[in-house]
A and B are shown apart, each in its own frame.
Chain A
Amino acid sequence: MANFYTDTAELKFHLTHPLMQKIVALKERNFTEHERFDYAPVDFEDAMDSYDKVLEIVGDISANTVAPNAESVDAEGPQLIDGHVQYAAGTQKNLDAIIKAGLMGITLPRKYDGLNFPIVPYIMAADMVSRADAGFVNIWGLQDCAETIHEFADEEQQQRYLPRIAAGETAAMDLTEPDAGSDLQAVQLKATLVDGKWILNGVKRFITNGDGNISLVLARSEEGTADGRGLSMFIYDRNSNAVTVRRIEHKLGIIGSPTCELVFKNAPAELVGQRKFGLIKYVMALMNGARLGIAAQSVGIADAAWREAVSYAKERVQFGSSISKFPAVYEMISRMKAKVDAIRTLLYETARFVDVYKAYEHISKERSLLPEEKTEMKAYQKLADIFTPLSKGLSSEICNQVAYDALQIHGGSGFMKDYPIERIYRDARITSIYEGTTQLQVVAAVRGVTTGGYLAQIKAYAETEVKPELLGYRGYISEMAFEYEEAVKAVLEVGNNEYTDFHARRLVEMAGNIIMSHLLVLDTNRDHQYWKSLDIFLKLARAENRGKMEFISITNPADLGKYKMD
């Protein structure tokens, strides 16, 4: 039987990373729950065995239910019926399978009926489901909202809403509006307090799974304000029946995922956490989780695209030979594989950082942290903060490159609707746009450049011990790090913010290339089979970074005028 977990050795490889020992011990509070819950692990090995076996279920459903339904879901799409969304038949079947398998509250604590898994195995599930159908992963992945409720809602709200999500009810995050896309400070949806109860009025637009059972809504609770400090976060329950779907968007890709325009008419809602913290605190947390999800989606799509390219290139015969024998083709395919391995290792590194920091954060609500625990939490939080936008930004862009090349390998056939690559190519396109465009990821990530966060981590990687045969690669990477340092210095010493913004993406990508190269060295150190990807990716990364460095060295602030629009 096909299985997307067992056919991808990379997943188990990343699952068994040495840091998991710490992550699992933190997440399981030193394995104390098995007395209360008969499905809780008794020790580290037991927990890892459970992750492994549950991921095998996800791999089974992905390969044998979700993937076979992807084509019909793409053709059929969701429908708008009486102001509500009806999923495509295949989407509903996927969802039923996921619910019966109990895969909706993966990271939630057991007391709310969750599986209490760390983020790493959850992201692995997202990786596989995305490879099967990138549109479906949105509906399934919105269980992220539960994490936000868990973090910020009060205990009574958690008890009411979280078990519902764990049991299979779907969620939505209602943030954007017609005039508030990237700029969420402009949100207008009105929240009014009437007799001690909140009601919502207004319009939300581009809401993924907008007709979900439980929605987190960003709304303006402070009349007369115009910025982010007037916004609060609310829970809207679809059982109240006060929101209608006015329209489902017609999209280029991820067609199975309903993107809705919503009309709120006196919709009853509950405040989450504190007033005025909606955007500045809660949405930021929600978005960070969602961004990691999109990074996983990007990796899963890129993996699917690469596989399609391989199978087509092997079977397609031209000029009397399989096209996979031609340098122009095999070079593209191995470059794609190297890129997939690179963004995947960055994804799981980021997930591990988030895991350690989130686990400490939850523990800090149960007891006060020891000073060394606090220090460690802050260190991992800093890493998570600069790695999340890096991972989302780079993996979504690379996913698009891989999908582009994979379609190219199919030639004219790839342009027709005869092969899955046509759908995969369309699905890939959104990844670098939603949950913050690449340009906005760069705005978040550039802090890692200017504060020296990336450089510090690059140096930390360089100091770890590896096998002697990998030291040559380390040499090249330290050369890249030197070039990066010089490039950063050249940009920053100008002291002009606009000029820094102008080069920000170049600098972030340079840092990303170095980090991914380092991670591939560490992967190869653990498993020699990553050697090829390391070698191929490093060559690409070195050449790319040289080009960016060159571009920076031949520009100066006076050039900005030529680029500016009239």
Chain B
Amino acid sequence: MYKIIVLAKQVPDTRNVGKDAMKADGTVNRAALPAIFNPEDLNALELALEIKDQYPGTQITLLTMGPVRAAEILREGMYRGADAGVLLTDKAFAGSDTLATSYALSCAIRKIGDADLIFAGRQAIDGDTAQVGPQVADKLGIPQITYAEEIVALKDRVIQVKRRLERGVEVVESALPVLITAHSTAPDCRPRNAKRLMRFKRATTLSEQHSAADDYLATHTAHPGLNITEWCAKDVNSDLVQLGLGGSPTKVRQVENIVFQAKESKVLSTADADIEWLMQELISQHTIG
């Protein structure tokens, strides 16, 4: 039986970028892109769920930081098997870079307390930094295993993890507690479960309950399990100076829109000589190899 926290982020679906994905000022047009559960965070959730399959008493809490609507991914995680969700939301978090984000998340993790394992996706598809997971581990002072593809073994508070590296794999071992970031080659997350969906579709945060048209009070008093924890900066005892824009040393100076344009093209036949030429070209340009 373990206590697991999975870090997740709601991100714009940058995999299906249309024409209006970027605004004129170079920032992401979030309104034009559907908001989704960051794909590698789903891999992270699956690794946690596999541990729960093996040790049924395991408790999985999904933690996300974001606007009120980020509760959508907490529900989605609960449909897939997470036991509870925590939403970290506050105007004070706005504009956070990876340093400020990892600080806020580490405060929330301390507040949840006693986590044996913390899982996170390797990186989010909107920023692609791969920094938040490692920084959280650093702030908590616990070891980290990045690029995880598979939990090889977990026994007596020692975990073995297979890591996917550029040119192969390696298996490493760590004592708990440990933070693990999941690679996209880890198993796909299991589907949403029909009964869990029907059970948790009414799970909401306090902010959502306040803005809902119908009377949620009765439902939520009768079913306390349908309350999604919502914390602000103060709730997690964080230092306001280290949060948000003020706590973020990263400054974006300029964003450039890059349009790929093929300048020239070459038509090759299937003759050996042409294929040979292409191979050499690809190797010398370091496109492959």
Contacts and interface: CB of A to CB of B under 8 A. Distances in A.
Interface string A16-41: 00000000000000000000001111
Interface in A1-53: 38-41, 49-50, 53
Interface stretch (A54-62, A241-249, A423-431): A54-62
A97 B191 contact: yes
Nearest to B190: A100
A50 B223 CA distance: 18
Interface in A425-470: none
B198 A101 contact: no
A165 interface: no
Interface string B226-265: 0000000000000000000000000000000000000000
A322 to B, nearest CB: 24
Nearest to A166: B195
Interface string B180-195: 0000000000111111
Interface residues of B, number: 13
A103 interface: yes
Nearest to A106: B194
A50 B201 contact: yes
A102 interface: yes
Interface residues of A, number: 18
A101 B201 contact: no
Interface of A: 38-41, 49-50, 53-54, 57, 60-61, 65, 97, 100-103, 115
Interface in B87-128: none
A39 B191 contact: no
B192 A57 contact: yes
Interface string B190-219: 111111111101000000000000000000
A38 B199 contact: yes
User: Is chain A's binding surface mostly helix, strand, loop or mixed?
Assistant: helix
A102 B192 CA distance: 9
Nearest to B81: A100
Given A39-B199, A49-B201, A50-B201, A57 B223 contact: no
A167 to B, nearest CB: 12
A39 B194 CA distance: 9
A50 B199 CA distance: 10
26 contacts: A38-B199, A38-B223, A39-B196, A39-B199, A41-B198, A49-B201, A50-B201, A53-B197, A53-B198, A53-B201, A54-B197, A54-B198, A57-B192, A57-B197, A60-B192, A97-B190, A97-B191, A100-B191, A101-B191, A101-B193, A102-B193, A102-B194, A102-B195, A115-B194, A115-B195, A115-B198
Contacts of A50: 197-198, 201
B201 A57 contact: no
A103 B197 CA distance: 12
Contacts of B195: 39, 102, 115
